[in-house]
Structure 1
C-alpha cells in the first residue's frame, strides 16, 4: 500500500505545535519547500545539460520567529529525528560570515544558507524544522531544507528583490561549501520553481527553465524508495564528475553538453579509457532523451515518454554505473505489470528511489507485485507534480 502523504497544512500545524511547546511562543513566519523527483536527466546537470524534474507533495516546513541577540535556536522533528542545536551568527557589521562547521549534519545545510545568503546578514531567530521528505532517498531532502531556509531568511530580513536563480545558486553553494557535496543546480531550481501539474525542463548551462504541462487524470508517478543507501554515493559522485570533465577535455569541449554521438565514436576510435567513454555516452544520450521526453509530455505521448525513462535506467546502469541490484530489481518488477509505461532509478544512485510512470488504476498492482517479490522493505508514494516553495 502506498504511504499516506501528509498535506502541507498538517505539517504546518504539527510544526507550530512543536514551536509552542519548545519555545513557549507563537511562530510568525511559515515557509515550505518541496522535495523533487527527477523524471529524466540524471547526472547531466553538472555537465551543463538538461534535466526534467517535478516538485513533490513531500516537503520541508519551517516555522520561525526573529529574536534579539546573535544566536539561532533550531528544533528538528520527523526525518531529522528530535534534535536541538544552537549556534552564533555573525553580527550585522561582520565582513566575513564565518559560521563553525560543527554540529549535526543537517545543520550544515542551514548554516551554509545563512553564510551564503544574498543581502544583509540575517538576524537571530528560533525555528522548528519539520519534513516529510525521506532522508537519503534521492528525493532531495537537502535542497528542500536549503530552499525553505532561504525563504525563512527572506522573511526575517524583509528582502524581496533577489532573483530566484540567484537564490538557487546561493543554496547550491551552501551545499558545496558546508555539506561538501558538489551537486548540480537541479534540486534547488525545481524546489524554488516547481508548479502544480507541470514538470520543469531546466537548461543547466543557461539557467533557464520551461514549464512542461503534465496533467492527466489517468497517469500517476509512483515513487518507490528502496530504503537502501550504499556508502558509495559520496565517493563515486566526484569520480563521475572527473571522468566527464576528462572526456570533455579530450574532445576539446567546454562540457559534454556540446558533445554528440559522433564525438562518442571518436572517443571509441582513439581507444579512450572505457570508463570515460561510457560516462560520456550516457551524458550525450541522456541529454537527448530529456529534450525528446519534454516533447513527448507536451504531446501527451506517455507511452514514448515511458520508453525513454526505461532507456535512461539502463544507461545509468550500464554506462554510468550508478545503479545497484536493489534499484535494478525494483525497475524490473515494476515493468512486469501491464499498464506500467516506464521505470527508472532517480537521483544520484547506489540506492534511493525509482520512479515509475503508470496508469492510475494499475499503481496498486505494481505496489502489490513489488511487495510480494522484492526482498526488502520499500516505501511507496503515488504523486502528481506539485507546487514549488512558498511563504505561507
Structure 2
C-alpha cells in the first residue's frame, strides 16, 4: 500500500539496494584480488631442473658437482695463498682476492639448491628463498663487473705509470675500489629485487630456469611489466657498457705502452698479467651481454640455462686456474706451500 501511495519510495529503495549489492561485489572482487596477490606472494615456485633421472643426465649432474667442488677448492686456495704469502700482498692480488671471494659465492647461491632438489626429487623453492637467490646473484654479478673494470685500471697504472704505481694504487685507493664494487652490487640488487618481488604472480609459478633469475621470473608476472622491462634494459646497458668502456680505454693504453717497450722480458711479463685479466673479462662479460643485452625473443630458456650455468659455475672455476697457471708469483707461492706440507708429512 505504501508503494501505491508513494510510488517514488519503492523506486528509491530498489535503487539503494542495487547500489549496496554493487558495492559488496566490488569489495568481494577487491578482497579476492588481494587474496590472489597475497597467495602469489607466499606460494612456492617450481624450478625447472637441468637434469632428469636418465643415465646421461646423471653423468652430467656428477660433472656439475665435480666442477663445483673444483671451483670452491681453486678459489679457496687462491684466497689462502694471497692471505699468507707476503709477496702477494700487492694491489693487484688484493683485488684478485675479492674476485675469488665473489667466485666462491656465485656457485654457492645456485648449485647446492639445484643438487638438493635433484637428489630429493623436489623442484620447489619458497618465495623468500627465490628473492634471496635473486638478490645475492645480482649483488655478486654487478660487483664482479665493476671490480673487473677497476682491475683493468690497476693494470693500466702498473704498465703505463709504473713509477707512480705505489701512490696511485695505495691501500686507501684499493679499499675505495673494493667498497665501490660491493656497494654498487648492493644498490642495484636492492632496487631490482624489491621491484620484481612486488609484482603479482597469479598464474603459473613454474620458473623455466634452474634458479631464480630476474628475466625468468619476470615472465611469470601477471601485471603489465612493459615499463619495468624498458627500465631494466636501459639499466642493464649502463651497468654493462660503463665498465666495458673503462676496460676498453685502459687496455688500449696498455697495448700501446707494451708495443713501445724495448725489453722483451718486460713486454712478456706485462702481456702475461694483462692477458689473464682480459680472458676473465671475456668469459664474464660475454655471458652477461648475451643474457641482459640480447632481447629475450632471440634466445630460448634452454640457451639461458646453459649460459647461466656457464657464468655461475664454469667461469668462477676457470678464474683461479687462469691466474694460477699464467702468473709466476702464484705458482711460486703454491709450490712453497706444497713443499712445506710435504716436509711436515715426512717428519
- Give the TM interval when normalised to the shorter protein: under 0.3
Max radius of gyration: which structure? 2
Q: Tell me the TM-score normalized by structure 1.
A: 0.24
Please state which structure has a larger fraction of its residues in helix: 2
